[in-house]
Structure 1
């Protein structure tokens, strides 16, 4: 049964018909068809891992057509990174039209396993890896624009939530304190200090693989954005330990772990942030916590997962931040 997203991308079709469209896409762009689908995930895109008829493995991602320009920038950056041996998949085809959407094909990186960033050594590795990514992308700043951080784009207090299950309008009652803290943080971010960098705003253990104390694979490159360096680091600090993969779940970081990640990043860059940059990182951390709390509140009010608690997770962390202010 096709999901709502896949119906929008491929039409009212079944799994076999979707596979046929993907097989035709691979034959047109790679000259080889699909032998086997190895995994299938749906988030903001329809994603399938495939083994091709020549035995090679690849990942096909199908997005809504409005992402085409962003995907072109992302693939330019990926090619640059892959050429410098950074652990990122190499683009193979696209972005190109398929059905009602736009698709890309990239190589599949499988080495390594998910780490536990609650362990200080893994946390430090993630901070070092993020800094290396920023350094590798530095030559592209000003010539390639992956767009602003979606969470902070525009003038509205909240963006359209990343998942259709979240309804910020219907669940506004009781969330006024979250909205107030978010508004204060956004006001601080309007004049955020720091040099502009290209960075991965969803730099979490779920999107990374580690082997022998090295990052061996990074996924979800659609999360590349152009933003001030301290804002990138503060935003990443709010969730870098998290995995919502049912097979390998990890909790969000504690406030102390978030602060330690920012300090690890400063050491990796070889220079501390100045006072204005630290304020930008702090504001980004508060705003991303508030967004997570708003999502958590929505789930609790709408009883998405039954009688969910509002006394843990992002809400608990945001309350603690408010008490410290």
Structure 2
């Protein structure tokens, strides 16, 4: 059953009411695939407002589509409704999820991320020129190692009240080392997709069909964007951590596609970021007593990734 506000929102912002529900999901955001009374098919997305970062995320999505990147084009801007940020975009279903984590798949995922970062580099951040946008801060919580709160982890409302003693000590120790390592860096920031997981990406006949979850745009050093994706790209049903050799292939291809090799500091940052996401997911598994997919991957890979990160 659709929430009461949705029909009136659609009439106000889209000029037609919902006639049929094509899709409905709720995780960190609510997504409604709708056929409207005028025949159009749209997706309406609603998520907790985070100080306006949603508007920048939608602008990056719009700009990427205008420049030929495969994604659903936004139809409206972001509006606020009872503390939630809401917008509509084209309904773009279909495509296949790639579930492999080998080197060839890593290379396939790396090139379009490099293309997206290159496109987004033309968006002016924080300037006075028309079209300029504010940085999408705070960054998504799974990449928020630069928080200024006490302790290793940023405050995440849906983790509050959980028993932190469930989190294995080696996860906490590794997170502290990675956070210390990343706090030392002074690199320019770029716009990029910080949830570059297979569950958010669709393919058709070996070609990229659609990238979803544009709420996850972040403002981070480029090496951190690429590094986070190099570890997370293989996540579909459950968040995981790709094999180290696949992360290597991802980073190699990313740099080739950008035609800019990372220096030694950036390489270390990339490895650090790759591990931080997995540590976030391992913590979530422990707190929620879920199957230890990311936790097992971290247990087998953390030592080497810490070494590569210089942490």
Shared topology, TM-score over 0.5? yes
Residue number among 206, 209, 212 corresponding to 2:202 in the alignment: 209
Q: Please, what TM-score do these two structures have when normalized by structure 2?
A: 0.85
**Using the alignment, how far apart are the partners of 2:245 and 2:262 within structure 1?**
18
**Using the alignment, how far apart are the partners of 2:192 and 2:178 within structure 1?**
21
**Using the alignment, how far apart are the partners of 1:89 and 1:310 within structure 2?**
30
Distance 1:25 1:292, change over 3 A: same
Q: Which residue of 2 aligns with 1:114?
A: 97
Distance 1:148 1:270, change over 3 A: farther
2:168 paired with 1:175: yes
Q: Which residue of 1 aligns with 2:137?
A: 147
**Using the alignment, how far apart are the partners of 2:148 and 2:64 within structure 1?**
32
Shift of 1:321: 4.2
Distance 1:298 1:320, change over 3 A: farther
| Cα RMSD, aligned residues only | 2.6
User: Could you tell me whether the CA contact under 8 Å between 1:289 and 1:318 is conserved in 2?
Assistant: no
**Using the alignment, how far apart are the partners of 1:100 and 1:153 within structure 2?**
25
Q: Please, what TM-score do these two structures have when normalized by structure 1?
A: 0.82
Count, aligned residues = 297
2:261 paired with 1:272: yes
Q: Which residue of 1 aligns with 2:67?
A: 84
Q: Which residue of 1 aligns with 2:28?
A: 44
Residue number among 23, 32, 42 corresponding to 1:58 in the alignment: 42
Q: Which residue of 2 aligns with 1:134?
A: 117
User: Could you tell me whether the CA contact under 8 Å between 1:238 and 1:252 is conserved in 2?
Assistant: yes
* Correspondence 1:1-325 to 2 at 5 A: 15-16=1-2, 18=3, 20-64=4-48, 66-67=49-50, 69-142=52-125, 143-144=132-133, 145-150=135-140, 151-156=144-149, 157-161=152-156, 164=158, 166=159, 170-172=163-165, 175-244=168-237, 252-300=241-289, 304=290, 312-318=296-302, 321=305
Unmatched tracts of structure 2, length 5 or more: 126-131
**Using the alignment, how far apart are the partners of 2:81 and 2:208 within structure 1?**
33
**Using the alignment, how far apart are the partners of 2:256 and 2:182 within structure 1?**
23
Shift of 1:54: 2.1
